[in-house]
A and B are shown apart, each in its own frame.
Chain A
Amino acid sequence: DAKTTQPTSMDCAEGRAANLPCNHSTISGNEYVYWYRQIHSQGPQYIIHGLKNNETNEMASLIITEDRKSSTLILPHATLRDTAVYYCIVDSGTYKYIFGTGTRLKVLA
């Protein structure tokens, strides 16, 4: 199973872009990268996913390096409501979705 590594915590000024990195150096060619976030103690919510190409939706952008060994989640204009724990996981098809500890993002006013 592909493992992911994320920084423990990050700060970002309100209105600025938040760039959250994730390392998944053992990812295989057909494995998707998914990002979720958990606000307070709610259940995690889906943000975005990708395979090879960069992706964008109404919430965020996902940049995947050409070798697919890392990715970056971008929140273009962070707000206080984006303060949360962000999880990067790899869907390897084994059904053991390991979330780890994620990155605790704090958006500062």
Chain B
Amino acid sequence: NAGVTQTPKFQVLKTGQSMTLQCAQDMNHEYMSWYRQDPGMGLRLIHYSVGAGITDQGEVPNGYNVSRSTTEDFPLRLLSAAPSQTSVYFCASKLLGQGSGNTIYFGEGSWLTVV
């Protein structure tokens, strides 16, 4: 049981380049999401998904695309990277529902620098 796995851990991009941050979970969680965290700041929700084929926007969705073709994977795409997207990105997952103990599990983060 690996939990939530993010790749790559570190990436440097040039402005205008595209890339995909990968996220996979092996806990059969319906819910998955992406957050970004700028230096000294809190976590901001980018996009989330409540199941395969279902995605929705969070607080800061502009500049990012997501898709959910399988329960396990939830990639985050940057179509044209900008320096403002320099940040640490966290993927998260949880079981659906408000039931007791349905906690959120986070990956270890992906450090992205756009120059």
Chain A interface, number of residues (Cβ within 8 angstroms): 26
- Taking a contact as CB atoms under 8 Å apart, the answer to whether B108 and A34 are in contact is no
B88 within 8 Å of A (CB atoms):
yes
A93-109: which have CB < 8 Å to B?
93, 95-102
- Taking a contact as CB atoms under 8 Å apart, the answer to whether A43 and B98 are in contact is no
Q: Which of A31, A98, A99, A101 has the most CB of B within 10 A?
A: A99
A30-73: which have CB < 8 Å to B?
30-32, 34, 36, 41-46, 49, 51
- Taking a contact as CB atoms under 8 Å apart, the answer to whether B103 and A93 are in contact is no
- Taking a contact as CB atoms under 8 Å apart, the answer to whether B98 and A31 are in contact is yes
A70-103: which have CB < 8 Å to B?
85, 87, 91-93, 95-102
Q: Which of B48, B97, B106 has the most CB of A within 10 A?
A: B106
Contacts of B56 in A (CB 8 A): 95
Whole-angstrom CA separation of A36 from B106 in the bound complex: 11
B102 within 8 Å of A (CB atoms):
yes
Contacts of B105 in A (CB 8 A): 46
- Taking a contact as CB atoms under 8 Å apart, the answer to whether A45 and B100 are in contact is no
- Taking a contact as CB atoms under 8 Å apart, the answer to whether B107 and A43 are in contact is yes
- Taking a contact as CB atoms under 8 Å apart, the answer to whether A97 and B42 are in contact is no
- Taking a contact as CB atoms under 8 Å apart, the answer to whether B98 and A97 are in contact is no
- Taking a contact as CB atoms under 8 Å apart, the answer to whether B41 and A97 are in contact is no
- Taking a contact as CB atoms under 8 Å apart, the answer to whether A41 and B88 are in contact is yes
Q: Which of A42, A49, A87 contacts B100 (CB 8 A)?
A: A49
B24 to chain A, nearest CB (A): 14
B residues contacting A by CB (< 8 A) are: 4, 31, 33, 35, 37, 41-45, 48, 50, 56, 58-59, 88, 90, 92, 97-98, 100-109
